[in-house]
Structure formats: C-alpha cells, structure tokens
Chains A and B, each alone.
Chain A
Amino acid sequence: MKFIDEFRDGGLASGLAAAIRLAAKRTRDYHFMEFCGGHTHAIARYGVSDLLPPNVRMIHGPGCPVCVLPVGRIDMAIRLVREAGVTLCSYGDPLRVPASGGLSLLKAKAGLGRNGGVRGDIRMIYSSADALRLAQREPERQVVFFAIGFETTTPPTAVVIKQAQALGLKNFSVLCCHVLTPSAIASILESPAVRQWGSVPLDGFIGPAHVSTIIGSRPYEFFAEEYRKPVVIAGFEPLDVMQAILMLITQVNDGRAVVENEFARAVTREGNRKAQQLVAEVFELRRSFAWRGLGELPYSALRIRGCFADFDAERRFAVDYQAVADHPACECGAVLRGVKRPQDCRIFGSACTPENPVGSCMVSSEGACAAHYSFGRFGEVAVAK
C-alpha cells in the first residue's frame, strides 16, 4: 500500500496546494474541466477543492460512462429481457439508471416472473468474462452482455466477442454502447456555451487516466492546437489531480496550450497498440450515437463489425434505439456539458438522491451529482436529509 499512500499524502498535498496558490494569479480566474468521472470521484472523495484557492475552479465533465447513457439505451436493454427473453448481464451501476415508465433494470429484474410472458433474466456481473462464462455454462440461455464504457472497457469486450466466435457460441451476444472520449471533448469544445456565449469558461482540461493508457496522449493534441486549450493527462490519485492543476495553471500563465502528461508512469503518446488493433478488428465507428446531455454526436461510438454480426444483440434481436426525453426537471444534460453544477439542479438532494436517482448523474459514484451528494454537499445549507 505504500505505493498508493504516496499519492494521498497530506504533507505532499499541502506543499502542492501552496504551489498552486502561489502560481494562480490573483487577477484572474481559472476554470478547468476534469473530463473523467474517475477524477470527479477523486476530487470529491479526497476533498481536493478544499485545498484550492477560490479562483481555481473545477468543472465536471461528461466522462462517466453510466451518466452519458441515454434513457433509450436502457429501454433497449429492458426490451431485450422482457420481449426477447434474454439473460442480460450488466455491470452494477447501469442497473440503477432510470429508464422509461418509472423502470430501471433493477426494477425490471424485481418484476420478472411476475408479469407472465417471456422469461428473461438480469444478472449483475463484474467483468465481460463473467457473461461469456455464463453463456458457456448454460447453453439454453441467450446471454447478452450490456457493454458500456469509454475506451478502457472496449478491449475486454472485443476479447469476449472474439472468444465467443472461436468457441462457436450460439447463445452469446453484446449490446454495444461503447463511446469515444475525443468525440465528447470535441462536442464540449464546439458547444455554443463554450465557443460563442462564453457561459462555460474553460481554460483547460485534465485528460483521462485509464482511457489514455489505451488511446495514448496523441488524440488530445488536436484540441490543444485547434482550440488553444491546454490538456494535462493525470492519474486518478488526488495528488495526480493537484499536480495536473498546477501544470495547467502554469500553461495558462505562460500562454501555452499543449498536451502534457502527468501520468507518464502509465500513459505514452501512442497508447496501447495491441489493444487498439484488437478494438479495430472487432468494432467500427457508428455513424451517429445519442449521448445523454450531448445529443446525437456523429462518429462518437462503436458498433460491432459485420464479420461479428452474430454476436451483435442489436442485429440478432432486431432491437433499435428510440429516443426518449429526459425527466422534465432533470438537468443532467447541462451538468454533463459543464453548464450547470449539480447543486444548480432544482431537484438535487430533494427528489433526486442516490437512493432514488431521477437522472443518470446521481447513479454512478463517478457521476457529478452522486459525487457531490455523497462527499461534498456539506458546503450547501439547504439539502434534504
């Protein structure tokens, strides 16, 4: 544990905090977006904001895989279970995301077997391999793996698809909802709130940790050059985040906008070539994908290639995506774009809590609303108990 504790050391942190205070000019504000939910979580869990001077503010980004899933995607998963009678294998967090008709996968699971009709099933799993094992063990079940996540979780999905093909499995497929980080960053930078209105002041990004180990630091160079925004890739430890903030402030002060790598212990410029090849072999770009909050983004997600069509649940069971409007009071979209803070949502902490999430950002511990509710809300006065 020594290795990890070094990244959470209070003494080092106060040293870094002093350096940040010294570097940040009193005459201006600094607004940095941490793209990843992992960073959002670390900032809230360790109280990093408490150590920052008031003119250095963090804006939460859209990099939480569960948060960006639109209602319609969860509906698709529920339809597969209820109508096609499949056994859906999902990670824990997506189970609690609100879907249409007051449902969620968890509630749909509780209702199974009571509504008659086709008998589907919903299982919580810890890895894609668990789903594949279930399909192998119980050939009479149609197993569908609900694959979500950014570039970090894509290679393991590719692996199980290839294994399923090699094993000749006839009862395994994947509902692919994998999305791409650079598209989301581009959408933020292109949004009128950032570009024209300036309502989201943005002076730089903290780049993803785990995602970057796969895709490398090169994809961010475009953002630095084209949009003149500094990017510092950082690990998920709180001291990593603080170091990255210091590096961003320095870039801003120097008038530079380049990609820097604080997480050099794991991230290279090229990323993991082998993983990239594997992903390219199994997946291709989707023409368009609907994100919660960001809307339809062209070429922002992956779909399974034709040569693996048998393992594509969308093709096998002919389910398609139908857009569904979010809850009218829900501000998740604005939160994901950095336009609003969680506490700006009218129902934050009242109607919407981790026990009864209304929006997706209240579900995963990496979601901005859940992180703020669970760790940081002592700052606000009026919060329901």
Chain B
Amino acid sequence: MSAQRKGYVRPLDLRHGRVDMTHGSGGRAMAQLIDELFASRLGNNYLGQGNDAAVLPMPPGRLVMSTDAHVVSPLFFPGGDIGCLSVHGTINDVAVMGATPLYLAAGFILEEGFPLGDLARLVDSMAHAASAAEVPLVTGDTKVVQQGKGDGVYITTTGVGVVAEGADWSGNRARPGDRIIVSGGIGEHGMAIMAQRESIGFAANIVSDSAALHRLIAAMRASGAEIHALRDPTRGGVATTLNEIARQSGVGMMLQESALPIQPAVAAACEFLGLDPLYVANEGKLLAIVAPADAERLLVAMRAHPLGRHAAIVGSVHEDARHFVQMTTTLGGRRIVDWLTGDQLPRIC
C-alpha cells in the first residue's frame, strides 16, 4: 500500500510571474490566483465562505448602495494606487449619503501579461485601506482580457451601507443663503497623477489625497449642524460637483476665489499646465452645503478632524433661475465657474 503523495502546487511567482489567460478561465490556475493572491490578503469570514455570493448580517436602517469603476493611469501614483483608491472612492460615495459603510465587493479586469507582483501590491493596498476603514471586502470576481485589450488593471468596487431614518442629505436640498464648505486643499489627486504623467519635477511632492472620509462625515453628523447636501468632488472637481448641486436644487452659487484652500505646489503645477484647480479631481475631499446658522459649527467640527484640518467656507447659495455657479476672482472681477467641457487639457501656447 503506497501512501498517496500530497499534490504539489508550485506557489505563484510574485517576482517574475505574469497574469495569463488561464488565470481567468475558471480552472486551477484561477483558483490558485484567488487563494494565494486575493484571499490570503483580503481574508475575512465573509470572503472565506467561498460561495458565489456572501451572506451578510444587516443592521436596521435603509440600505445605501453605490458602485464605481476605476481606470487610472498610472496605476501607482504618489500617495496611493488604484487599489486603495477603489476602496476609498466607494466608501466615500456611500458615506456622503449620511450612511455608515458596511461592506465592499470588487471586480477585477486584468490584462494578460500584468506582473503578478504588481497585482499583489495593489491587493495589499486594498486590504490595508479596507481594514483601516473597517469596511471588509466580502466578495469579488476576476476576469482576464487579452494583451492590448485592457490597461493593466481595472477595478470596479461596489459598497453598501445603512442610513438611519431622518438623515436626508441630497443634492436637491441646497437653499438660498446656505453656505458652501470644502474640507481641504483642492486638486491634489488630479495633480499628483498629472505631475507623474508629465514628469514635472517641481510638482513631485504633490501627493494624492485619496482617503476614506466616513469618519470625518460621522464627526460632521455628530456636530448636529443642519447639513443639506454632501458630495465628494472627484472627477470634474469642485466646479462640476457644485454645478450638479446647483442644477439639482435649482439655485445659483457664488464662490470667493481667495477663500479656496489650495496647496501652493498644486497651484503652481496647475499654472504650469494651464489647468484650473476647480476642475481637477479630488479623492479625499468633501463639499458640504449647510444652513447658514450652522456653518461655523460645522467648520469647527470638520477642522477638529485630521482630514478636515484645512476646511474653509468658500461661498454661498443664492437664487438664480439660470443655476449659474459664479465666482468673485482674486482680482475682484466676476466669472462663471462652468461645467467642465471635454477633458481638461494643458494649454498649448
């Protein structure tokens, strides 16, 4: 009677290995990738169930759900990577509704040839972001596309949370007189990416602001201030988000350019590339529309939190049938802060 030898599976080669088509084909290679690369890093009881879907306990309240697809180039940038970004972004989308984020799901589209070592770094970064935020990743999926059909990695994350009855923050609730608060320096994520893409030396110290904002938001809620709307101004920047709220609420807005918090390095890099920081993406900032009497109280609560240290009141809401967002410039003139047109591109001359 010969003892049956335990089957040997060579571990994934994270140093030189690359994603190949078998990693998405549903066979052993895929199971190994999931076990060794994903589950071992993201491990939690729910993911460990190993079923096609996770079965989750649900606290009382209304369900809030959001999904976000992430396509970033470069995948790694100062201050973060597509991994932590995909976790933070979805947590924030759930949290700005006033909800407590509970669970995340992630879908990966991997391009054939993508280094396994880089994938491991990204998954590590996701795991770290999820555990720091205490929002577990409970289910996921992976597909592989042929070389040239993807951009390394695309990650789609979905988040669910619960919101208590009565908390109704919504983009259609801005009212004339309300104050507009931004939680800190604008344009940092977009410029960190741009600076790396364009290799602008002097902007090398700009770091993405990618962060999970649910704890800052909890502190804002605890302040008792009458918040009407809360958004995270990601793609399209502060200008786009304010235009969305202005249109949804049927109001106009007036900003003060001199009140906008902006890091000198970000301002300089924007200047260099001919970009307007109001249109540059943020990944760890909030815009709050708050009743005028509560603006100061909310500001104090925000500044007490590390992610809201540089919060500032930057403008106010007023009546305007045309729903214009306007701004008093540093020069003392007036301008419109319009919707973003196309992609924001560097000037050419």
Contact = CB atoms under 8 A, between A and B. Distances in A.
A264 interface: no
Contact of A354 (B331, B334, B341, B347): B341
B338 interface: yes
Contacts of A150: 349
Contacts of B347: 365-366
Interface string A42-59: 001111111100000000
A354 B330 CA distance: 25
Given A96-B342, A355-B341, A378-B336, A8 B349 contact: no
A65 B333 contact: no
Interface in A125-157: 126, 148-150, 152-153
Contact of A152 (B326, B328, B349): B349
B333 A93 contact: no
A65 B348 contact: yes
A374 B336 contact: yes
Interface in A212-248: 238-239
Nearest to A210: B349
B258 interface: yes
B267 A51 contact: no
Contact of A378 (B268, B330, B334): B334
A147 B337 CA distance: 31
A38 B329 contact: no
Contacts of B345: 91-93, 124
Interface residues of B, number: 29
B13 interface: no
Nearest to A377: B336
A45 B349 CA distance: 17
Contacts of B342: 92, 96, 354-355
B331 A383 contact: no
Interface in A14-36: 14, 17
A370 B258 CA distance: 24
Interface string B311-349: 000000000001110101111111110100111011111
B348 A48 contact: no
A376 interface: yes
A355 to B, nearest CB: 6
B271 interface: yes
A385 B329 CA distance: 23
A66 B334 CA distance: 26
A1 B267 contact: yes
Interface string A79-104: 00000000000011100100000000
B264 interface: yes
A150 B347 CA distance: 14
Contacts of B341: 354-355, 370, 374
Nearest to B329: A46
B165 interface: no
Nearest to A365: B347
Contacts of B268: 1, 4
Nearest to B322: A385
B349 A46 contact: no
Given A5-B330, A65-B348, A373 B335 contact: no
A96 B344 CA distance: 13
A158 B329 CA distance: 38
Contacts of B52: none
17 contacts: A13-B331, A13-B332, A14-B332, A44-B335, A45-B335, A46-B331, A46-B335, A47-B328, A47-B331, A47-B332, A65-B348, A238-B329, A355-B341, A374-B338, A375-B335, A378-B336, A385-B322
